[in-house]
């Protein structure tokens, strides 16, 4: 900030005056700024920055060429108590400039669409999908995963099913990183978390695998089918005690009876939400409906001999006596089409795809589509489309406002820099970052919002992960970012060229001048790409960028 | 000036408060009360997540209806067999796996609250935990311990600490630290890169560089805190502080050991002093196979870990027992009657404990409602006799020195006035 230009002064009370200024900004850097802005703050109580709807604390400067000085297009106002000296050293300007984007990459809006419907952009996607129209065309293709060739991934995974917990987590991570059916993987991870089960509750890897596959089959399909897959999954039947749920024997006071664990979480967490309008009686009645739903020979089995055949009333719907497996099916039917379910599922989808603070208009339009397409095979695809195609979806207010979960963090690093990992070394890292896959004991699943993940301990582990991925020794199947390859392939030589290239791949234009400055400092002004220590400096650069606050966002 | 101390001093002024309120993305409001910290006082909150069954934790063996409701999982009345309850007063007994707490009971430093809850309680794990950690009948954006920290104008060195996670109780405008129960708080980078990386990240995470995005603000605030924590913690060796007790080799036991080390360190070096800490122990959602008094039962094994770790922590604290109050809580108790899976379902009143040298040891029952079917809430649940907000009021006013608990717990929409009940 190089100066203030006085505009006006006004006395507003016995002791207070308001002074209006424009500010002047000089760009000392060698890089042109496409746009610059500054936030004004005061650290002296008698001087307040006016923020009243007509003026605010933000100043806009527009484009600033290297070495150029520009006057702000708008003004800022100080309200000052004249009993104190007005001292400009208490007025602070936090300046942000955006460097001109290197030609030939995705626009911020296109990038936003990609970041939300995939596990991260890739260099290839950024080069190919430049504008919003192309991004929406990509989205449209993603809605039909069966038409996307994913043979490269299948070849990498091989034909053998994962047999251990680590192997299963690796399998899921490799899909998130490499599948061409990105939206399908995003939604499969969403549903697997929504219908969370804990491998530790049954210790059968095949059941978690089967559940994950069933959820993937319907991830963009019909919600009732998703419910069916979850309700009949041996993993779920063990995890929430369905296998223990049997009709009470009136003749035997010590007989076992219906178990409420699954019927309660089914309503609270899988369908209606905790405030969805069900009662304790609804929980008890549906517990009776699910008696006899059990596991035999490693698969779902309905045992009519322990089923409670009496009449049940669930959410006002009478299930007549004499039913069998159809009793539980009816409960799932009622829940799948309940208005609270449409609202609850859409709220979670909007939180996943848009913002931690889901805009009501998006939730409402989604819930309308969800309810209206309850009988459609592509119900979820339609619900997602209503969100992604919503007129506000690409609004700048929703761009890069979501903090990545550890799964998204790990997958995005591999995708952003084209790492050819088979993810064999990632599962233990997920445990350290607080998100062991298939092993979450809490039925709510992992949180999807910033407050769930941002705290000192998790940030420490993310920084450690960034450093690990940047310095990991390369090898078959391992996760090791190779900055050298990028630098050579693109003929990059100077520190600014290299820094701007990696920032573009990592965060697009969403970085602060300080983040760029620190990145330049890692390489040093005299950086020589042919020197012996170039590789070490480049890896240090990556470890630094991947640890930035910008990089935690999507 | 150390940035953290600067920011803290800053936020304690009225101007700083206004600035924080304006810019805070979640609209947290800072609450101001007369600073009341009694120097050195610490609150440790242990949350039993999952809904611990109170009736088999503090066993009402003298209640004529108890064994009828729990024919297979009832804990036998006190007797010579190892699965019998440990007699407290001829009516209540501790589960035998809580034998580690018996010496504390005999010292008169264990308060036992068999029936704690709040009216119209949630039977959802998530909502129940959020409500109890909000300290109000509606879920607040910030937790009650964070609200307490905000009332303090003089900040204690390290502030507050979440062991293993940042629970809702500690969430809010005041940024607190989280330490893993097992890991050292260090960057795993080459020694030569450690200081430069931390310097660059400190510049990148500077809170003044955050913008209007809530997530970005959160990242900068916690990022700055984590870099400050590393700098502080790299200067000390927690493991050089010896434990004066044997802890169970469990996650909870290690966490409690870590916490005791930290509390002792804080006594030696004011920069590490804390005024509140939280820690979790899970595994209480015993819908099936809960077990009774026998040591092999699902709940018994959790109680053994819980009780032994607490007892070791208490012994390890030594003279700090005068200043460190430990409160245990859980989101709800469970159904009075056992279910068909030899377990219990989500219920209402639960058993809470307080440990500390200033605690009025003994049973704090209120009027025991009994387990007769007409006395059970909705015919299914033990009713509560103590509102948990009154427990908080005791802790806030009589341990932490807050003048009026309602300044920390203001939004009691149901009209309840949090009032101390003589626990301290």
Tokens 């003279």 locate to: B319
**Which H or E element spans position B42?**
strand B42-48
pLDDT band of residue B171 (cuts 50, 70, 90) is: confident
pLDDT band of residue B22 (cuts 50, 70, 90) is: very low
Whether pLDDT at B280 is above 80: yes
Q: What are phi and psi of A199, to 5 degrees?
A: -55, -35
Round to whole Å and give the CA distance between B84 and B86. 7
Q: For residue A45, list chain B residues with Cβ-Cβ distance below 8 A.
A: 13-15
Tell me which residues of chain A, numbers 214 to 243, contact chain B at a CB-CB cutoff of 8 Å: 240-241
Q: What is the DSSP string of A261-328?
A: HHHHHIIIIIIS-TTSS--HHHHHHHHHHTTTEEEETTEEEE-GGG---S-EEETTEEE-TT--HHHH
Whether pLDDT at A102 is above 80: no
Query: What tens digit of pLDDT does each residue of B314-362 get?
Result: 999 999 999 999 999 999 999 999 998 899 999 999 999 999 999 999 9
Q: Is the dihedral of CA B47, B49, B52, B57 positive or negative?
A: negative
Whether pLDDT at A409 is above 80: yes
Structure tokens at B243: 């434990």
The residue count for chain A: 554
Nearest to A229 by CA among A191, A283, A190: A191
Nearest to A25 by CA among A56, A58, A67: A67
Nearest to A220 by CA among A141, A102, A323: A141
Nearest to A113 by CA among A477, A359, A398, A522: A398
Q: For residue A517, list chain B residues with Cβ-Cβ distance below 8 A.
A: 203
Round to whole Å and give the CA distance between B257 and B291. 28
| Best to test chain B binding among A454, A467, A524, A539 (most B CBs inside 10 Å) | A454
**Whether A356 and B208 lie within 8 Å, measured CB to CB:** no
> Which residue of chain A comes nearest to B175, CA vs CA?
A455
% of residues, chain B, pLDDT over 70 = 89
Angle between helices A132-142 and A182-194 (to 10 degrees): 60
**Which H or E element spans position A387?**
helix A379-388
Choice between A520 and A61, residue whose per-residue pLDDT is larger = A520
Instruction: Select from A244, A456, A518 the Cβ nearest to the Cβ of B177.
Output: A456
CB burial of residue A151 (10 Å; 0-12, 13-18, 19+)? exposed
Pairing mode, strands A293-296 and A16-26:
unpaired
Q: What is the mean pLDDT of residues B298-303?
A: 97
**Whether A455 and B178 lie within 8 Å, measured CB to CB:** yes
Distance from CA of B217 to the nearest CA of A (A): 9
**Which H or E element spans position A238?**
helix A234-239
Tell me which residues of chain A, numbers 43 to 62, contact chain B at a CB-CB cutoff of 8 Å: 43, 45, 51
Query: What tens digit of pLDDT does each residue of A130-183 get?
Result: 999 999 999 999 999 999 999 999 998 988 999 999 999 999 999 999 999 999
Q: What is the mean pLDDT of residues A414-440?
A: 92
For residue A485, give the 3-state DSSP assignment.
Answer: helix
For residue A338, give the 3-state DSSP assignment.
Answer: coil
Instruction: Select from A241, A357, A400 the Cβ nearest to the Cβ of B287.
Output: A241
pLDDT band of residue A521 (cuts 50, 70, 90) is: very high
Q: Residue A434: its pLDDT value, please?
A: 87
CB atoms within 10 A of CB A525: 9
pLDDT band of residue A273 (cuts 50, 70, 90) is: very high
Longest CA–CA separation in chain A, Å = 92
Side-chain-facing half-sphere of A127: CA atoms under 13 Å: 8
**Whether A553 and B219 lie within 8 Å, measured CB to CB:** yes
**Whether A451 and B220 lie within 8 Å, measured CB to CB:** no
DSSP A162: P
For residue B282, give the 3-state DSSP assignment.
Answer: coil
Instruction: Select from A268, A458, A514 the Cβ nearest to the Cβ of B203.
Output: A514
Q: Residue A164: its pLDDT value, please?
A: 95
**Which H or E element spans position A352?**
helix A339-353
Query: What tens digit of pLDDT does each residue of A471-520 get?
Result: 887 777 789 888 988 898 888 999 999 999 999 999 999 999 999 999 99
Q: Does any CB of chain B come closer than 8 Å to the CB of residue A552?
A: yes
Sequence-ordered list of residues with C-beta below 8 angstroms from that of A111, at least 6 positions apart, any chain: A121, A126, A135, A508
Q: Residue B131: its pLDDT value, please?
A: 93
Round to whole Å and give the CA distance between B163 and B277. 7
**Whether A260 and B346 lie within 8 Å, measured CB to CB:** yes
Q: In sequence order, what are the beta bridge partners of A96?
A: A37
pLDDT band of residue A104 (cuts 50, 70, 90) is: low
Q: Residue A65: its pLDDT value, please?
A: 82
Structure tokens at A201: 């509750």
Q: Residue B15: its pLDDT value, please?
A: 29
CB A463 within 8 A of CB B186: no
| Best to test chain B binding among A457, A462, A535 (most B CBs inside 10 Å) | A457
CB B256 within 8 A of CB B155: no
Whether pLDDT at A387 is above 80: yes
Strands (E), B362-412: 362-363, 386-387
Round to whole Å and give the CA distance between B405 and A224. 48
Q: Please, what is the average pLDDT of chain A?
A: 92
CB A77 within 8 A of CB A18: yes
Nearest to B333 by CA among B352, B318, B316, B347: B347
Nearest to B160 by CA among B106, B208, B229, B69: B229
CB B8 within 8 A of CB B377: no
Whether pLDDT at A53 is above 80: no
| CA angle, B168 then B172 then B177, to 5° | 75
Round to whole Å and give the CA distance between A314 and A221. 26
Query: What tens digit of pLDDT does each residue of A318-367 get?
Result: 999 999 999 999 999 999 999 999 999 999 999 999 999 999 999 999 99
Sequence-ordered list of residues with C-beta below 8 angstroms from that of A526, at least 6 positions apart, any chain: none
| Best to test chain A binding among B11, B133, B172, B213 (most A CBs inside 10 Å) | B213
Q: In sequence order, what are the beta bridge partners of A295?
A: A300
**Whether B189 and A403 lie within 8 Å, measured CB to CB:** no
Nearest to B154 by CA among B312, B47, B41: B41
Q: Residue A34: its pLDDT value, please?
A: 66
Q: What is the mean pLDDT of residues B22-46?
A: 54
Q: Does any CB of chain B come closer than 8 Å to the CB of residue A306?
A: no
pLDDT band of residue A10 (cuts 50, 70, 90) is: confident
Q: Residue B19: its pLDDT value, please?
A: 27
Round to whole Å and give the CA distance between B11 and B26. 17
Q: What are phi and psi of A506, to 5 degrees?
A: -80, -50
> Which residue of chain A comes nearest to B229, CA vs CA?
A456
CB B176 within 8 A of CB B146: yes
Tokens 């805070």 locate to: B24
| Best to test chain A binding among B12, B191, B204, B231 (most A CBs inside 10 Å) | B204
Round to whole Å and give the CA distance between B289 and B239. 39
Whether pLDDT at B368 is above 90: yes
Whether pLDDT at B47 is above 70: yes
Q: CA-CA distances (angstroms) from residue A266 to A260, A278, B284?
A: 10, 11, 19
């Amino acid at each position: 900030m190089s100066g203030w230009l006085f505009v006006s002064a006004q006395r507003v009370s016995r002791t207070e005056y308001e002074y209006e200024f424009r500010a002047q900004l000089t760009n000392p850097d060698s890089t042109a700024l496409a746009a610059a802005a500054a936030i004004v703050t005061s650290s002296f109580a008698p001087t307040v920055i006016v923020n009243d709807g007509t003026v605010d604390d933000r100043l806009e400067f527009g484009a600033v060429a290297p070495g150029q000085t520009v006057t702000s297009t708008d003004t800022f106002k100080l309200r000052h108590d004249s009993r104190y000296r007005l001292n400009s050293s208490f007025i602070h300007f936090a300046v942000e400039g955006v460097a001109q984007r290197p030609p030939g990459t995705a626009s911020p809006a296109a990038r936003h669409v990609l970041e939300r419907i995939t596990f991260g952009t890739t260099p290839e996607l950024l080069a190919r999908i430049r504008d919003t129209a192309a991004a929406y065309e990509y989205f449209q293709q993603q809605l039909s995963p069966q038409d996307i060739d994913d043979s490269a991934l299948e070849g990498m995974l091989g034909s053998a099913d994962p047999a251990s917990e680590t192997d299963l987590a690796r399998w899921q991570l490799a899909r998130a990183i490499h599948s061409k059916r990105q939206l399908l993987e995003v939604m499969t991870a969403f549903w697997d978390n929504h219908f969370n089960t804990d491998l530790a509750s049954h210790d059968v890897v095949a059941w978690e695998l089967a559940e994950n596959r069933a959820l993937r089959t319907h991830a963009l399909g019909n919600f009732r089918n998703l419910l069916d897959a979850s309700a009949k999954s041996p993993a779920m039947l063990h995890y929430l005690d369905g296998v223990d749920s049997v009709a009470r024997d009136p003749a035997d006071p010590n007989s076992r009876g219906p178990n409420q664990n699954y019927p309660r979480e089914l309503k609270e967490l899988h369908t209606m939400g905790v405030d969805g309008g069900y009662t304790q009686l609804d929980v008890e009645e549906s517990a009776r409906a699910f008696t006899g739903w059990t596991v035999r020979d490693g698969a779902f089995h309905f045992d009519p001999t322990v089923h409670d055949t009496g009449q049940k009333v669930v959410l006002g719907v009478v299930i007549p006596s004499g039913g069998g497996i159809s009793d539980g099916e009816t409960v799932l039917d009622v829940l799948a089409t309940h208005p609270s379910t449409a609202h609850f599922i859409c709220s979670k989808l909007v939180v996943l795809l848009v913002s931690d603070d889901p805009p009501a208009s998006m939730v409402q339009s989604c819930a309308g589509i969800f309810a209206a397409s309850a009988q459609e095979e592509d119900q979820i695809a339609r619900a997602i489309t209503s969100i992604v195609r919503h007129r506000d979806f690409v609004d700048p207010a929703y761009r890069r406002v979501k903090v990545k979960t550890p799964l998204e963090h790990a997958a995005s690093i591999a995708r952003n820099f084209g790492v050819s990992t088979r993810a064999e070394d990632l599962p233990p890292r997920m445990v350290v970052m607080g998100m062991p896959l298939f092993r979450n004991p809490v039925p709510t699943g992992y949180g999807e919002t910033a407050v769930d993940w941002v705290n000192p301990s998790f940030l420490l582990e993310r920084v450690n992960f960034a450093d690990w991925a940047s310095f990991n020794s390369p090898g078959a199947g391992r996760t090791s970012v190779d900055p050298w390859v990028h630098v050579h392939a693109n003929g990059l030589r100077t520190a600014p060229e290299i820094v701007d290239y990696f920032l573009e791949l990592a965060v697009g234009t969403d970085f602060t001048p300080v983040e760029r400055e620190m990145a330049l400092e890692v390489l040093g002004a005299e950086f020589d790409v042919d020197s012996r220590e170039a590789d070490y400096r480049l890896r240090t650069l990556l470890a630094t960028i991947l640890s930035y606050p910008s990089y935690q966002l999507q | 000036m150390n940035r953290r101390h600067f920011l803290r001093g800053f936020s304690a002024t009225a101007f700083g408060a206004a600035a924080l309120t304006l810019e805070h993305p979640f609209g947290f409001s800072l609450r101001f009360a007369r600073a009341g910290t009694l120097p050195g006082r610490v609150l440790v909150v242990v949350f039993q997540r999952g809904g611990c069954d109170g009736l088999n934790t503090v066993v009402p063996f003298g209640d004529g209806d108890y064994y009828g409701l729990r024919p297979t999982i009832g804990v036998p009345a006190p007797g010579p067999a190892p699965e019998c309850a440990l007699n407290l007063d001829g009516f209540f007994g501790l589960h035998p796996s809580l034998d580690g707490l018996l010496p504390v009971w005999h010292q008169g430093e264990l308060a036992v609250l068999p029936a704690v809850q709040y009216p119209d309680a949630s039977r959802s794990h998530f909502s129940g935990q959020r409500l109890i950690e909000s300290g109000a009948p509606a879920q607040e954006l910030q937790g009650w311990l964070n609200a307490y920290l905000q009332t303090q104008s003089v900040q204690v060195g390290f502030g507050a600490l979440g062991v293993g996670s940042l629970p809702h109780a500690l969430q809010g405008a005041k940024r607190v630290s989280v330490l893993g129960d097992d890991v050292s708080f260090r960057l795993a980078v080459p020694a030569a890169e450690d200081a430069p990386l931390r310097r660059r990240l400190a510049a990148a995470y500077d809170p003044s560089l955050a913008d209007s995005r809530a997530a970005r603000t959160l990242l900068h605030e916690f990022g700055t805190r984590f870099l400050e924590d590393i700098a502080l913690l790299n200067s000390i060796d927690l493991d050089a502080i010896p434990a004066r007790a044997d802890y169970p080799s469990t996650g909870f036991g290690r966490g409690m050991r870590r916490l005791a080390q930290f509390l002792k360190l804080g006594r030696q070096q004011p920069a590490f002093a804390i005024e509140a800490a939280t820690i979790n122990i899970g595994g209480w959602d015993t819908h099936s196979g809960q077990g009774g008094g026998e040591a092999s039962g699902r709940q018994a094994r959790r109680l053994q870990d819980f009780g032994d770790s607490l007892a070791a922590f208490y012994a390890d604290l030594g003279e700090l027992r005068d200043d460190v109050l430990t409160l245990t809580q859980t989101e709800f108790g469970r159904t009075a009657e056992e279910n068909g899976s030899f377990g219990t379902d989500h219920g209402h009143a639960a058993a809470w404990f307080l440990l500390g040298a200033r605690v009025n040891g003994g049973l704090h029952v209120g009027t025991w409602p009994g387990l007769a079917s007409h006395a059970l809430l909705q015919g299914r649940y033990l009713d509560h006799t103590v509102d948990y907000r009154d427990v908080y009021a005791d802790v806030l006013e009589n341990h932490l020195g807050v003048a009026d608990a309602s300044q920390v717990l203001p939004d009691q929409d149901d009209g309840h006035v949090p009032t101390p009940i003589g626990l301290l």
